[in-house]
Each structure stands twice: as C-alpha cells, then as structure tokens.
C-alpha cells in the first residue's frame, strides 16, 4: 500500500487495552504484548486525536472462570447473549493489572473509554458489548466530533482489537488495522480467523511505516 497521510480533522488513533494484565507478567498476558508499546507511543505522538480503551471489570465478572464453579480459563460457556470464552481474573477495577502499562506515553489522549464494567456482560469491542446491542457510546462520540477514519492497534488482536475494528466498520467508519501495533492471544486459530473476518468486512491492514508521519 502506498503511504497514507494523516488527516488532522478526520483521523483518530484508537489504542486498545494496553494494560498491565495483557502484557508479560500480567494475569492474561498476550505473548509479546509489550512489543506494541513503541508503536503506540510513536504513532500516538503524530495523531491529532487519540482515544484509549481500558478493560475494566468488577470483581466476580461473568467472563472470569472463577465466577463459574468447576470452570477453567479458555473454556466456553453459554451466556444469555451467546457463547462466552472464560478468562483468568483480569483488569479488575482499581487494581494494578487494570492500569495502563507504565511505558505507554499518551498523555494527550482525549478520551479513556472503559468497557466490560457490567458484571453480566463482557465487552471486547470498543463500540458494543458482547450482547452486540449495548452501545458504549464511542460511535456517537466519534461522529459528533467529525472523526471518520479509525486507526486501531493494541491488545489483543484477535479479541478486543478485532471486535472493535469490525464494529467500527458496522458503524460506517473507515477502519485501518495497524498490524505491527497489535499482538494476539491466538486461541484455536483465532488470529487467522480474526484477520479473515476483518478482511471480509473491509478493514484495511497497514503497518505503522505506511502512515506518513
Ligand atoms: C480482552 C479477553 C478478555 C482483550 C479483554 O483486550 O482483547 N481479551 N478481555
Ligand atoms: Zn476482559
């Protein structure tokens, strides 16, 4: 792809869940999760608008295996809204694990969007919770501010980043996935699957090098 030029009026960098629990040493560590930090910091410094998301669960959240007797992380249960993967307790509100990684330097971020705070519903996407109908308000926020092109990166590629990119398309935004700014969990081929769905939905893959800075 040829170089993309950042449009100061329409473009936003959406930085997904770069939190301690998703980085090495965290409760739900994504392999090489901390490798996204330099990309996020470098690109963030050049974007006119930056939005951060923060996975933010109450204790005993329904997506935690520990909330279901006899269940283990990475098993699947049937929630009232459909299949839900179970995770180790992570990103509990007010804990160190839920804080942004200390090396993430994006103080200019204009919005920190917290998600997954309803005990009974998980929320991978920055736009909709996992019932696919409860909105987080992000689409309205972006639209009202005239932001039309979303550049997404962060953790994890195959969960929160992919769901956010797909929902961004569903909400009519142009979406670019910054590949080198993402790392995945990769449960049962979930990275390949996420890439396929995103391609089908018209999400454009770019590297941070292709974005004119
Ligand atoms: C995520 C699993 C559970 C993510 C959040 O940020 O990708 N994955 N909660
Ligand atoms: Zn979570």
105-111 long-range contacts, Cβ below 8 Å, gap at least 24? 105/41, 105/44, 106/15, 106/40, 106/41, 106/44, 106/50, 106/52, 108/44, 108/50, 109/15, 109/44, 109/50, 109/51, 109/52, 110/49, 110/50, 110/51, 111/51, 111/52, 111/141
Ligand 1 pocket test: which of 155, 177, 194 has the largest number of ligand atoms within 8 Å of its C-beta?
155
What would the pLDDT profile of 112-121 be if each residue is shown by its tens digit? 999 999 999 9
Q: Is the pTM of this model over 0.95?
A: yes
86 Cα to the center of ligand 2, angstroms: 9
To the query of whether residue 23 is one of the catalytic residues in this protein, the response is no
Is 159 touching ligand 1 by the criterion CB < 6 Å? yes
* List of the chain residues with pLDDT < 70: 1-2, 213
Is 89 touching ligand 1 by the criterion CB < 6 Å? no
């Amino acid at each position: 792809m040829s170089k993309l030029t950042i449009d100061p009026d329409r473009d936003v960098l959406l930085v997904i869940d770069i939190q301690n629990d998703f980085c090495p040493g965290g409760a739900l560590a994504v392999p090489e999760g901390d490798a996204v930090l330099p990309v996020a910091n470098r690109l963030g410094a050049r974007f006119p608008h930056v939005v951060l998301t923060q996975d933010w669960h109450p204790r005993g959240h329904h997506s935690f295996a520990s909330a279901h007797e006899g269940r283990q992380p990475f098993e699947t249960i049937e929630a009232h809204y459909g299949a839900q993967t179970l995770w180790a307790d992570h990103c509990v509100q007010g804990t160190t694990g839920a804080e942004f990684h200390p090396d993430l330097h994006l103080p200019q971020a204009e919005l920190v969007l917290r998600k997954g705070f309803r005990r009974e519903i998980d929320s991978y996407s920055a736009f909709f919770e996992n019932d696919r109908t409860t909105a987080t308000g992000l689409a309205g926020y972006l639209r009202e501010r005239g932001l039309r092109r979303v550049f997404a990166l962060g953790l994890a590629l195959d969960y929160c980043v992919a769901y956010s990119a797909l929902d961004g398309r569903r909400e009519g935004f142009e979406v670019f996935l910054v590949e080198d700014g993402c790392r995945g969990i990769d449960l049962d081929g979930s990275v390949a699957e996420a890439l396929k769905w995103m391609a089908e939905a018209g999400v454009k893959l770019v590297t941070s090098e292709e974005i004119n800075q």
